[in-house]
Structure 1
Amino acid sequence: MDETLTHPKIRVALVDDQQLFRSGLAVIIGAQPDMAVVAQAADGTEALGEIAAHGPDVVLMDVQMSPMDGVEATRKIFEDTTGRFGRLPKVIMLTTFDWDEHAATAVRHGASGFLLKDSTPEFVCEAIRAVHGGNAVIAPQSLAALLRDEPLPVPEVPVPYLELTEREREVFNAVALGLTNQEISGRLFLSESTVKTHIGAILRKLALRDRVQIVVYSYENGIGR
């Protein structure tokens, strides 16, 4: 039996204003047995239309484009209330700089992390698989360092966090520190399936999309600082 019938390919959209770079990515990703490039765009405005039309699972989004950059396009995707994009894609920002405040802003808006544009083809493909599976493509410690460049007042701990169970708070704090499910399992003496169940409950109760958003939520609300 064709494995793609039971495991559909990851649908990828590429957004970058450099056609040569975009075409190179398309060749690399298209060669993967578990991926397919379903849309390409040269700027944020074009990207919004392509994403709405083709419903990709993962979008590789350049940070700096004109007239609409990748940060603004990402904001529009995740703040949309019309249902234009259907099931929201995972977004990975593409940047030239290791410490990019624009990429950090995009993560605040909902992106699942960022990649350097000179990353190896193997790393790019693994990053796509990672975010498709609900993980991040930037270490929580690195993300926290980026967010610290934008000082925030220490707010009151939000009510939804206070409504988590004691065990859910323990799992939340462990995720915010960057621990894997296996590491959380060992630290808290839980099975990995139980850890996954707790993470699902945390995301649902706090209205968060993924583990990256747990890190952002932790920092912005002064939890675990």
Structure 2
Amino acid sequence: MATRVLIADDQRLIRAGLKMLCESTDDIDVVGEAADGAEAVRLAAELRPDVILMDLRMPGVDGITAIELVLSARADTKILVLTTFDDDDHLYPALSAGAAGFLVKDTDPDELICAVRRVADGDFVLSPHVLQRVVSQAVSARSFGRRDPVELTAREADVLPLVVEGLSNQEIADRLHVGVTTVKTHVGNLMHKLGAGNRVQLAVFGYQRMA
């Protein structure tokens, strides 16, 4: 079944381009467009999309507030932020509000389509350079991580550095020549063993382990 996507952006050309990109695939359907946060919240309740592509700077209700309102009404909606601004003042509020991913608007079109599929599948996505910044800041602040040693299987030890690189489950599967279901199992086991609440924390723990 196709992933149902709602596009929320105050620029008509951006919405048109995103719609054209999404609808060039066989497994993604654009079910609606919103020009501001208030409309995004209304359409999210009305159309029940699987994924919302959410801009952050919009008139009236901004993207951060819209994320909070959408998720308070329907927590299983996946929201992928797509913004021009990747600074900390935009990144961390978006993640705190519950965004399932954060990409900049100059992301490669194929990467964007991959990100929509990943968040729809329950994955967590950050632009690679954003992920590395989050990891570095977290390690510097010592804000995440467990210090006690954790024993990993050989395959888990292969998977963890690739998570740190920001690779998707499919990319890890391709790199290791295993099935994507196998990778999902290993990632789940790693999150449990290392006490990671999401993929970003897992990347932080992996970075600390390899340091």
TM-score (ref. length: structure 1)? 0.66
Contact 2:56–2:83, Cα closer than 8 Å, also in 1: yes
Instruction: Give 1:214's aligned residue.
Output: 199
User: In structure 2, the residue corresponding to 1:113 is in which secondary structure?
Assistant: strand
- Structure 2 residue runs without a partner (length 5+): none
Contact 2:144–2:204, Cα closer than 8 Å, also in 1: no
Residues 133-156 of structure 1: CA deviation (Å, up to 9, x unaligned): 4363522x5323156568964247
Equivalent pairs: percent with the same residue? 27
Contact 1:156–1:221, Cα closer than 8 Å, also in 2: no
Instruction: Give 2:91's aligned residue.
Output: 104
Using the alignment, how far apart are the partners of 2:114 and 2:206 within structure 1? 31
Q: CA RMSD in A?
A: 3.8
Match of 2:104 among 115, 122, 131: 115
How do 1:24-63 and structure 2 match up within 5 A? 24-63=17-56
1:197 is the counterpart of 2:185: yes
Instruction: Give 1:3's aligned residue.
Output: none
Higher relative helix content: 2
Instruction: Give 2:172's aligned residue.
Output: 181
Using the alignment, how far apart are the partners of 2:166 and 2:108 within structure 1? 23
Using the alignment, how far apart are the partners of 1:104 and 1:26 within structure 2? 24
Distance 1:129 1:137, change over 3 A: farther
Number of residue pairs the alignment of both structures matches: 201
Letter paired with 1:176:
V
User: In structure 2, the residue corresponding to 1:175 is in which secondary structure?
Assistant: helix
Match of 1:10 among 3, 10, 30: 3
In the TM superposition, residue 47 of structure 1 has moved relative to its aligned partner by: 1.6
In the TM superposition, residue 54 of structure 1 has moved relative to its aligned partner by: 1.9
